[in-house]
Amino acid sequence: MTMRTVIITDKATGKTVECPVHEGRYGAPVVDLKNLYKDLGVFTFDPGYGSTAACRSGITYLDGEEGVLMHRGYSIEHLAEKSTFLEVAYLLINGELPNQQQFDEWVHVIKMHGMTHEHLSRFYQGFRYDAHPMSMLSSVVASVASYYHNTTDIYNPEHRRLTAQRVIAKMPSLVSKIYRYGSGLPFVYPDNSRNYVENFSYMMFSWPTEPYIANPVAIRALDLLFILHADHEQNASTSTVRLAGSAETNPYACIAAGVATLWGKAHGGANEAVIDMLTEIGDPKNIQKFVDRAKNKDDNFRLMGFGHRVYKNYDPRAKIIRQACHDLLNEMHLNQPLFDIAMELERIALEDDYFISRKLYPNVDFYSGLIYQALNIPTNMFTPMFALARSAGWIAQWMEMLADPDFRIGRPRQLYIGAEKRDYVGIADRK
How deeply is 254 buried, as exposed, middle or buried, from its count of CB atoms within 10 A (0-12, 13-18, 19+)? Answer: buried
One domain for residues 182 and 127:
yes
User: Global pTM?
Assistant: 0.90
Whether 33 maps to a domain, the answer reads: yes
pLDDT of 2 higher than 60: no
Number of domains in the chain: 3
Whether 92 maps to a domain, the answer reads: yes
CA dihedral 73, 79, 84, 90 (to 10 degrees): 0
CA gap 180, 398 in Å, rounded: 30
One domain for residues 248 and 310:
no
One domain for residues 216 and 233:
yes
79: domain CATH number? 1.10.580.10
46: domain CATH number? 2.20.28.60
Encode pLDDT of 328-371 as tens digits.
777 766 557 788 888 888 888 888 888 888 888 888 888 888 88
Whether 314 maps to a domain, the answer reads: yes
One domain for residues 238 and 307:
no
Q: Judge contact between 1 and 23, C-beta under 8 A.
A: no
Whether 416 maps to a domain, the answer reads: no
**How many CB atoms sit inside 10 A of residue 176's CB?**
25
| E strand segments, 65-151 | 68-71, 74-75
User: What's the pLDDT score for residue 1?
Assistant: 45
Encode pLDDT of 249-277 as tens digits.
999 999 999 999 999 888 888 788 888 89
One domain for residues 395 and 363:
no
299 is catalytic: no
One domain for residues 300 and 323:
yes
How deeply is 422 buried, as exposed, middle or buried, from its count of CB atoms within 10 A (0-12, 13-18, 19+)? Answer: exposed
User: What's the pLDDT score for residue 334?
Assistant: 59
One domain for residues 193 and 50:
no
One domain for residues 210 and 313:
no
One domain for residues 248 and 274:
no
Residues 71, 267, 308, 315: which is the catalytic one? 308
Encode pLDDT of 377-400 as tens digits.
998 999 999 999 999 999 999 999
One domain for residues 189 and 260:
yes
Q: Domain range holding 282?
A: 270-374
One domain for residues 294 and 340:
yes
User: What's the pLDDT score for residue 78?
Assistant: 95
346: domain CATH number? 1.10.230.10
Question: Which DSSP letter does residue 230 get?
Answer: S
Residues 223, 231, 315, 365: which is the catalytic one? 365
Residue that wins the pLDDT comparison between 142 and 369:
142
